[in-house]
Amino acid sequence: MVRKENPGGWSRSSVFLLFVLILLATTSSALARIKLITLPVRERVEVQLDHPGVTLVEEERVVPLIAGINQVDFSWANTEIDPESIVFRVTESPAAVSVLSVSYPPNEKALIWQVSSAASGPARIRISYILGRLEKTFHYRAIASEKEDTLTLSQYLRLRNLSNEELGASEIWAGVGPRFHKFVGVAETREMLVERRPKVPIKKTYTCNPATFGYSDRPQNKLLVPMHYVLTNKTTHGLGLARLPAGKVRIFQSDGAGTTVFLGEDWGTFTPVDDQMKLYLGVARDIVVTRKIVENETVRRVGNLIDQKVVIEYTIENFKTSAVTLDVRETLRNVRDEARGRSQHEPDWDILPETSLGRPDDTVSNQEELVFHVDLPAKDARSEARKIVKTLHLIFRNEW
């Protein structure tokens, strides 16, 4: 039997091959994959630094979706993105869009969102994640007035990108102050002035506390007297809109002639609203405080219990030509251990009426520490500093 050829038709193998090609093309179109790491480019990036320990990055991209099922790839190879923190959201779209599932390709720092779209068109998506090693630090410049009653406080933000992720043109929010628009490249460091607050009221303090600051001359019982600028983070003082982050503070003083004198550096502690920041200025050489225990008496009560009476004497001299106030601080556990020897239990104490230091400041004193304020007159330029002698009488009850 002779087989007739069909020169104008299709063979069975040709028809099958055409079917396979159509099927592959349809499948490829339906499962379009959009690689966000390179295409499309970021339309907007926001870096949020308001959390003290976490940096949140939000980026927006415009993605061309097709009607049906889309696969959206997101990868973070060689970067410090926390995969557990990645969130995908659609903010603008031509029709209803929903995320059906998310999968993680094996052995890759990547994920694939399967996204359903009711119609074809561009959709604006927002991807947020925590980015490690995008390091932020704060530091300050404080310039005190000539009279040392106010200062200008400038706060700076330093951003160091060690995440191996180039964020490009970004909007940076530190949690306080304005938003910054900066380019953030790989291994770059950026510094920005967050805010400058002029005429912030300050108080210059002189403080002695043997438990905290110790002695300048222990054999002579002479205490160290550190100096501090103290500012309060509240609105009536020109601050108080947000907490002050911890950071190094470079301290200067105006000399009244348009220039400044460098006084030193200190580490400004984290300062919540209505709290105080103390800036260390060094040790006062012109205020001399001698402290010694002049009485230490044991009074037997009952059984093994005793009372311990302690009298501390302070001899204070002010060699400054201006009047100042000295803060005398005593840590009660330290006094008890000094008089009785080290003990583990909490001291039970009272101030005796013979005390000549006056009443402790109830706003800052507590069960563990007493604070007294002693006004020191200025030294007369033609005479020696006047010695002021004050005493603190304490009783520690129920000791053993």
Handedness of CA 98, 100, 105, 109 (dihedral sign): positive
Helix (H, G, I), strand (E, B) or coil at 36: coil
Query: What integer pLDDT is reported at residue 382 of this predicted model?
Result: 74
Q: What percentage of the chain reaches a pLDDT higher than 90? A: 84
- The pLDDT value recorded for residue 164 is 95
Tens digits of residue pLDDT in 37-46: 445 899 999 9
% of the chain residues with pLDDT over 70:
90
**Residue 339 backbone dihedrals phi, psi, to 5 degrees:** -85, -35
381 pLDDT above the threshold of 80: no
* Ranges in the chain annotated CATH 2.60.40: 23-130
pLDDT of 102 reads: 95
Residue-level pLDDT at 385? 86
Strands 121-130 and 134-144, how do they pair?
A: unpaired
Q: Mean pLDDT score of the chain, rounded to an integer?
A: 90
pLDDT, residue 384, reads 78
What local confidence, expressed as pLDDT, does residue 30 receive? 38
Note the CATH number of domain 23-130: 2.60.40
pLDDT of 177 reads: 84
Confidence of residue 6 (pLDDT cuts 50, 70, 90): very low
Report strand pairing: 110-117 vs 306-318.
unpaired
- Pair of tokens at residue 264: 């030193």
pLDDT tens for 308-358 read 999 999 999 999 999 999 999 999 999 999 999 999 999 999 999 999 999
The tally of CA atoms less than 13 A away on the side-chain side of residue 256 is 3
**CA-CA distance, 363 to 395, in Å (whole number)?**
22
Chain mean position to CA 318: 38
> How confident is the model at residue 189, as a pLDDT?
96
The arithmetic mean of pLDDT across residues 12-32, rounded, is 38
Distance CA 312, CA 330 (A): 10
pLDDT tens profile 247-282: 999 999 999 899 999 999 999 999 999 999 999 999
Q: What is the pLDDT of residue 34?
A: 55
Distance in angstroms (rounded) separating the CA atoms of residues 351 and 370: 10
More confident residue, 384 or 242: 242
Mean pLDDT of 271-299: 97
Where are any strands of DSSP class E within 255-286?
260-268, 276-283
pTM of the model: 0.81
pLDDT confidence band for 36 (50 / 70 / 90): low
- Mean pLDDT computed over 168-187: 93
Give how far the C-alpha of residue 80 lies from the chain's centroid of Cα atoms, to the nearest Å.
Answer: 22
Burial annotation 361-383 (CB, 10 A radius, 16+ → b, else e): eeeeeeeebbbbebebeebeeee
- C-alpha dihedral, 195 to 201 to 206 to 212, nearest 10°: -40
- In this predicted structure, what is the pLDDT of residue 206? 98
